[in-house]
Structure 1
Amino acid sequence: MSTTLHTRRLVEHRYGRPLERLQREVAAGRCADPVLPIVLRRLTVLEQTGEQGRAAHRALRTTLQKAVADGSPRDDRLRPYIAELFYLEQQEQSQTEALWDLLDVRLLLDQPGAGRTSTRHTSRSPEDENLMDAARDAAVCLPRLTRDALRLALRDRGIQVSNRRLGLVLRQLRAERTH
């Protein structure tokens, strides 16, 4: 499954509605979620980058086939196509990560999608407290408290955390910093 298709399905899952319906809501101005218009714009850019990547891949394949048929040296003819494909794949990856972060921001804003209920726990287990203690220790060393920085700092301590739990921990740490 392509990154674009996977991200599209993730957007639909997070909002609980098909993408076309979400687009109609934003176009009609019936959107109460401040993150949704940004998510949709980013998804459109991601789809365009994915299409450019597929076109670059096709051009590379065609050039390779011509070079093989000619028996000519391939390196000089293929380098520009490979560089473009590499660049587009990096762009697609960074755009995907930015979009996924926006979807996490939506969850942090505590605006659940249609038909879903909150999954917050009212009581904390000792394991959650240990995770929070480790996260507090890790956050002290961080110049800026971001999802990626916290995830890496926890991994350095040998702690693997799911994306959902990391979001909850991050929200708690930011709330503690503001108080």
Structure 2
Amino acid sequence: MSTVNYTRHLVEHRYGRPLEDLQRHSAHGGSGDPVLPIVLRRLDGLSTTNAHARAARRNLDAAWQRCRSGQHALDDLVLRYAAEVVDLERREQSEAEAVWDLLDVRLLLDQPAARRPSTARRTGPAPGDEDLIAVARQVAARLPRLNREALRQGLRARGIHVSNRRLGTVLQRLRAERDLH
């Protein structure tokens, strides 16, 4: 599948409608999507570049056939067409990547704003952590040295998996209790 066809299918997939519908809808100014007109312009530019690249490939093929048949020596004509094909293929790839980037921007615009993480850190254990602390006390009583990894392994041996942050909170509380006694 050519780059232009792939990009067209990708645009249709992302917008959920055929390209002709998107063009018609955008021409009437009915699109609330700020990215759609830019995508359509870029897609038109990509199609134009693709047409120029196909023509340059045909010219290169014809020049190469003349060269092989002995009518024409390998000269600047073949090299010029080859350079033109390479340049147009690079431009085509660059234009396709620009459309793909715009489609990614559209996806980002469609997503709801992410919630900002709370800057206030929890200092105490979360509700329901009392059971975890009770089990952690039992595990800690059997440990020769209380550290994060030993406590984690002891809890895992009992089928309890906790996050690193939660484990740190429990560990701090156990150390504070140990220091009081």
Tell me the amino acid that sits aligned with residue 80 of structure 2: P
Partner residue, 1:69: 69
Tell me the amino acid that sits aligned with residue 43 of structure 1: L
Once residues 84 and 4 of structure 2 are traced to their aligned partners in structure 1, the CA distance between those partners, rounded to angstroms, is 18
The Cα of 1:71 is off from its aligned counterpart by 5.0
Partner residue, 1:139: none
TM-score (norm 1): 0.60
**1:86-101 aligned within 5 A:** 86-101=86-101
- State which structure, 1 or 2, has the greater radius of gyration over its C-alpha atoms: 2
Partner residue, 2:2: 2
Partner residue, 2:176: none
Partner residue, 2:83: 83
Partner residue, 1:141: none
Once residues 66 and 72 of structure 1 are traced to their aligned partners in structure 2, the CA distance between those partners, rounded to angstroms, is 6
Partner residue, 1:33: 33
Tell me the amino acid that sits aligned with residue 29 of structure 1: G
Tell me the amino acid that sits aligned with residue 41 of structure 1: R
The Cα of 1:87 is off from its aligned counterpart by 0.4
**1:97-108 aligned within 5 A:** 97-108=97-108
Partner residue, 2:22: 22
Partner residue, 1:11: 11
User: Per the alignment, in what secondary structure is the counterpart of residue 22 of structure 1?
Assistant: helix
Tell me the amino acid that sits aligned with residue 61 of structure 1: D
Partner residue, 1:109: 109
User: Per the alignment, in what secondary structure is the counterpart of residue 43 of structure 1?
Assistant: helix
Tell me the amino acid that sits aligned with residue 23 of structure 1: Q
Percent identity, please: 57
**1:27-176 aligned within 5 A:** 27-70=27-70, 72-110=72-110
User: Per the alignment, in what secondary structure is the counterpart of residue 110 of structure 2?
Assistant: coil
Tell me the amino acid that sits aligned with residue 99 of structure 1: V
Once residues 70 and 15 of structure 1 are traced to their aligned partners in structure 2, the CA distance between those partners, rounded to angstroms, is 52
RMSD: 1.6
Runs of 4+ in 1 over 4 A off after TM superposition: none
TM-score (norm 2): 0.60
Once residues 83 and 94 of structure 1 are traced to their aligned partners in structure 2, the CA distance between those partners, rounded to angstroms, is 17
Once residues 92 and 72 of structure 1 are traced to their aligned partners in structure 2, the CA distance between those partners, rounded to angstroms, is 30
The unaligned stretches of length 5 or more in structure 1 are 112-117, 121-179
